[in-house]
């Protein structure tokens, strides 16, 4: 199927062939009929992409600070690579569409195949969208082209709900783009008098048709004076700001225009340097509206399918969609007048160029009817696929998962090996297609099951979310595949036990977990030096992990397992590797926080060595992220951020420093591929990776 993307490096808009998305619980697959290009949000994205690097940096100074911090801790080369990788990620455009349901995910009861729906899907022939962000199009009264405006109208409606307009009140709408025009109409439906402010005559004329009194900024009209005249000096009851500008004028003028206890709601994007005195003296209320309404960005509402009870949250995002469609069906919301041009999907680049024209408001994309879903779930990459490696009996790779980590770290490392890169699979077809194109896989797919059934694939790389690792590992081994799975191996002890049994049943299959730090060249030096001393050792790993938001998926115990299971396992494995002895006992102590992601983990080993992992989420970005120290027989080794290793008291070793940080990702994957091609042994002894996985789960128990 085809989908529209924007290249962040040069701002170019492209229509690309990608696999159709897979069916998901709580989601619908929708064949798109029409979608609308947002002249506000999407214009901002396009302009950002076309800007040079300096302008991009000025627009996002907080990201520049993050880059500088990363450069100080990780080095110049890894930082440059990370920035380039981020800018090379194409952005899927669009969020307002309408079409026909072609598949209903598990747990969805309110829709059926064949239903006509409005949704927030991107500009793509087939979209996978949460059922809670879909609404049925009523009868035959609303055409697809009208319904495609629904999410945009819901954005305007949510702004109005926060402003709480009542019959007879007088409101100002600042910024008469697509959202502003919809806000004008909704206020008129609500029985309000409306003053519309903009600097483009075409938009002012359109708003006047919808019943607004116009204020032309391009003619030098004073909006504050106009509002005073509009209300007879009383001040307006509320202001909806739908403008997009870095200027502070809209928010300051809104405060001047309002009566005492007036309401100001920001739906657009403007400067927010407020003048306190204005808000204080009038006791003004100011709110920023969030997208379509309650539920937006809530993973339980969107991905989990959990709706909010109407008795407590009357107007969710989905119910705002329904309200908008109801107004369209009644003929009370005119979106046909907002449509300024139509384009076929293949001509999307031309459509986006129109956004710079003053007359562009509602630019509509039309879609051809595709033949089906199954046929389009796998796409073959172009003839630019990398040259075939030397033919070997083993090492034909299928990758499951193409998220940020996979594309930033794993796949570049895999591409350096001589494995045959057969297929990359992910639930999102755009991610798989991007990875296949960038790393020159033979094909991309959203049909994950096909990798297990494909007898030509003998090796799987699993880089999905943590809760799927164990099941995919078991399934891969049972299908006769070698498996490299990103950490953690499992989120439950019973899953570790199951994997142990499956490994025993398939002794000729290689299992490896992505414990890459043991493969760093500086780790190898530490290991060599420590092996020269027979006495018990004291090992300390200090991990300045930094804060991750409470609602991040890694903090969800059911999905990510928490950060101790998901990340601290690296350092439990590293110290186990350096000690070169089985762990006899593990104990952990936690800082009492809502996420339990700051902990001290103590281990004792069979030879009497002791080790501690300090995993800290409360530190500073400016402090080195990872430090490992070893103390033994009057000697010390100190490893800083996998860039420098210092020795104290060692007769033949003082210091080893790398030009850039090296955590061993490439060496880890290379060792795995070499083991597959040579028939073993595994790069990490299976007993060790199972031991570390179980130890981590014990350490995570409080």
Cα–Cα distances in Å, from 149 out to 269, 334, 645? 20, 10, 59
pTM of the model: 0.86
Range of the domain at 431: 375-511
Instruction: Reduce the DSSP state of residue 549 to 3 states and report it.
Output: coil
Q: 53 and 23 in one domain?
A: yes
Over the chain, what is the mean pLDDT? 92
By C-alpha distance, which of 305, 319, 176, 192 is closest to 250? 176
* End position of a domain, from candidates 346, 366, 386: 366
* End position of a domain, from candidates 270, 288, 306: 288
Q: 160 and 277 in one domain?
A: yes
* Mean pLDDT, residues 452-462: 97
Tokens matching residue 410: 């794993």
Residue 90: how many CB atoms within 10 A of its CB? 22
Instruction: Reduce the DSSP state of residue 237 to 3 states and report it.
Output: strand
CA distance 431 to 19: 9
pLDDT one-digit tens code per residue, 312-367: 999 999 999 999 999 999 999 999 999 999 999 999 999 998 888 878 899 999 99
pLDDT one-digit tens code per residue, 475-521: 999 999 999 999 999 999 999 999 999 999 999 999 999 999 999 99
H/E segment holding residue 179: helix 178-189
Cβ 113 vs Cβ 102: under 8 Å: yes
Kindly provide the residue ranges of all beta strands, DSSP E only, lying in 388-517, ordered along the sequence: 396-400, 420-425, 443-445, 459-462, 482-485, 511-513
Q: 193 and 232 in one domain?
A: yes
Cross-strand pairs, 172: 195, 239
* End position of a domain, from candidates 476, 496, 511: 511
Cα–Cα distances in Å, from 450 out to 437, 455, 479? 20, 10, 11
Contacts of 201 (CB under 8 A, 6+ apart): 216, 218
Work out the pLDDT band at 172, boundaries 50, 70, 90: very high
Query: Which CATH number do you get for residue 329?
Result: 3.90.180.10
Residue 444 has pLDDT above 90, yes or no: yes
Tokens matching residue 456: 């030509």
Q: 413 and 385 in one domain?
A: yes
* Mean pLDDT, residues 180-200: 98
Cross-strand pairs, 421: 397
Residue 298: how many CB atoms within 10 A of its CB? 16
Work out the pLDDT band at 593, boundaries 50, 70, 90: confident
pLDDT one-digit tens code per residue, 34-85: 999 987 666 555 655 555 555 544 554 555 555 556 555 555 666 666 655 6
- How far the first Cα of the chain sits from its last, in Å, is 48
Q: 428 and 357 in one domain?
A: no
Long-range contacts of 260-265 (CB under 8 A, 24+ apart): 260/235, 261/285, 262/235, 262/236, 262/237, 262/238, 263/162, 263/163, 263/164, 263/237, 263/238, 263/239, 263/287, 264/238, 264/239, 265/159, 265/160, 265/162, 265/163, 265/238, 265/239, 265/240, 265/241, 265/289
What 3 state SS string does 573-598 have?
HHHHHHHCCCEEEEEEEECCCCCCCC
Helix axis angle, 150-163 relative to 317-329, nearest 10°? Answer: 110
Q: 158 and 133 in one domain?
A: no
Q: 156 and 85 in one domain?
A: no
CA distance 450 to 467: 20
Instruction: Classify residue 243 by its DSSP letter.
Output: -
Q: 672 and 566 in one domain?
A: yes
What pLDDT is stored for residue 170 in this prediction? Answer: 99
Kindly provide the residue ranges of all beta strands, DSSP E only, lying in 289-401, ordered along the sequence: 339-344, 362-366, 378-380, 396-400
Which backbone phi and psi does 605 adopt, to 5 degrees?
Answer: -110, 165
Residue 560 has pLDDT above 90, yes or no: yes
Residue 197: how many CB atoms within 10 A of its CB? 31
CA distance 92 to 434: 11
Q: 585 and 477 in one domain?
A: no
CA distance 638 to 530: 12
Instruction: Classify residue 600 by its DSSP letter.
Output: E
Q: 176 and 252 in one domain?
A: yes
Query: Which CATH number do you get for residue 568?
Result: 3.30.360.10
What pLDDT is stored for residue 622 in this prediction? Answer: 86
Residue 668 has pLDDT above 50, yes or no: yes
CA distance 356 to 123: 19
Contacts of 252 (CB under 8 A, 6+ apart): 274, 275, 278
Query: Which CATH number do you get for residue 246?
Result: 3.40.50.720
Look-up: residue for tokens 């109407």? 310
Tell which wins on pLDDT, 8 or 312: 312
What pLDDT is stored for residue 56 in this prediction? Answer: 44
Q: 140 and 51 in one domain?
A: yes
Cα–Cα distances in Å, from 313 out to 117, 160, 292, 321, 464? 22, 16, 13, 14, 34
Q: 282 and 158 in one domain?
A: yes
What pLDDT is stored for residue 85 in this prediction? Answer: 60
Angle (CA) 698-603-557 rounded to 5° is 30
Provide the edge-to-edge strand list for the sheet that holds 91-92.
13-17, 2-6, 91-92
Task: Domain count for the chain, please give it.
Answer: 4
Instruction: Reduce the DSSP state of residue 97 to 3 states and report it.
Output: strand
pLDDT one-digit tens code per residue, 76-132: 666 666 655 666 678 899 999 999 999 999 999 999 999 999 999 999 999 999 999
What pLDDT is stored for residue 382 in this prediction? Answer: 62
């Amino acid at each position: 199927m085809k989908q529209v993307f924007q290249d962040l490096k040069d701002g170019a808009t492209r229509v690309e062939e990608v696999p159709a998305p897979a069916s998901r619980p709580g989601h619908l697959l929708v064949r798109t009929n029409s979608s609308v290009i947002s002249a506000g949000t999407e214009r901002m994205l396009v302009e950002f992409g076309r800007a040079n690097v300096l302008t991009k940096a000025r627009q996002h100074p907080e990201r520049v600070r993050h880059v500088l911090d990363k450069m100080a801790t990780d080095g110049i080369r890894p930082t440059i690579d990370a920035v380039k990788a981020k800018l090379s990620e194409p952005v899927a455009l669009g969020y307002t569409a309408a079409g026909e349901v072609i598949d209903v995910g598990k747990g969805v009861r309110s829709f059926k195949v064949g239903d006509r729906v409005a949704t927030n899907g991107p500009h793509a022939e087939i979209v996978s969208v949460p059922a809670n962000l879909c609404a049925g199009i009523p009868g035959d009264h609303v055409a697809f082209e009208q319904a495609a405006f629904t999410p945009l109208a819901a954005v305007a409606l949510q702004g109005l709900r926060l402003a709480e307009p009542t019959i007879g009140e007088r409101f100002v709408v600042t910024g008469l783009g697509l959202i502003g025009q919809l806000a004008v109409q909704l206020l008129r439906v609500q029985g309000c008098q409306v003053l519309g402010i903009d600097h483009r005559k075409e938009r002012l004329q359109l708003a006047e048709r919808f019943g607004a009194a116009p204020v032309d900024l391009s003619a030098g009209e004073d909006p504050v004076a106009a509002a005073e005249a509009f209300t007879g000096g009383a001040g307006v009851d509320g202001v909806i700001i739908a403008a997009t500008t870095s200027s502070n004028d809209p928010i300051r003028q809104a405060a001047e225009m309002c009566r005492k206890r007036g309401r100001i709601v920001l739906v657009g994007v403007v400067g927010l340097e407020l003048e306190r005195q204005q808000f204080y003296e009038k006791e003004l209320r100011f709110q920023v509206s969030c997208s379509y309404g309650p539920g937006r960005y809530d993973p339980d509402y969107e991905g989990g399918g959990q709706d909010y009870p109407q008795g407590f949250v009357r107007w969710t995002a989905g119910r705002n969609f329904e309200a908008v469609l109801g107004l369209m069906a009644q003929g009370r919301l005119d979106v046909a007048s907002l449509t300024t041009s139509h384009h076929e999907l293949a001509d999307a680049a031309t459509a986006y160029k129109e956004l710079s024209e003053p007359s562009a408001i509602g630019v509509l994309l039309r879609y051809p009817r595709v033949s089906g879903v199954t046929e389009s779930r796998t796409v073959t990459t172009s003839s630019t696929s990398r040259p075939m490696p030397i033919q070997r009996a083993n090492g034909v790779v299928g990758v499951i998962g193409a998220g940020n980590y996979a594309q930033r770290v794993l796949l570049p490392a895999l591409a350096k090996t001589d494995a045959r890169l057969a297929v990359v699979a992910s639930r999102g077809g755009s991610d798989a297609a991007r990875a296949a194109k960038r790393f020159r896989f033979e094909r991309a797919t959203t049909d994950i099951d096909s990798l297990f059934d494909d007898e030509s694939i003998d090796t799987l790389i699993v880089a999905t979310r943590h809760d799927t690792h164990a099941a995919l590992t078991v399934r891969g081994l049972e299908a006769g595949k070698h498996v490299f799975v990103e950490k953690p191996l499992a989120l439950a002890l019973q899953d570790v036990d199951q994997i142990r049994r499956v490994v025993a049943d398939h002794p000729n299959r290689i299992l490896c977990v992505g414990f890459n730090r043991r493969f760093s060249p500086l780790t190898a030096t530490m290991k060599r030096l420590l092996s020269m001393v027979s006495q018990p050792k004291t090992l300390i790993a200090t991990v300045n992990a930094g804060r991750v938001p409470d609602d991040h998926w890694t903090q969800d115990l059911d999905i990510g397992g928490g950060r101790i299971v998901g990340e601290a396992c690296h350092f439990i494995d590293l110290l186990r590797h350096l000690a070169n002895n089985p762990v006899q006992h593990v104990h952990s102590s936690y800082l009492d926080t809502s996420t339990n992601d700051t902990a001290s983990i103590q281990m004792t080993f069979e030879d009497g060595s002791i080790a501690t992992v300090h995993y800290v989420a409360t530190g500073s970005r400016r402090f080195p992220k990872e430090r490992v120290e070893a103390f033994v027989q009057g000697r010390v080794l100190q490893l800083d951020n996998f860039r420098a290793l210092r020795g104290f008291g060692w007769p033949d070793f003082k210091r080893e420093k790398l030009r850039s940080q090296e955590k061993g990702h490439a060496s880890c994957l290379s060792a795995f591929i070499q083991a597959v091609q040579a028939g073993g042994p595994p790069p990490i002894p299976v007993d060790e990776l199972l031991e570390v996985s179980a130890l981590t789960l014990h350490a995570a128990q409080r």
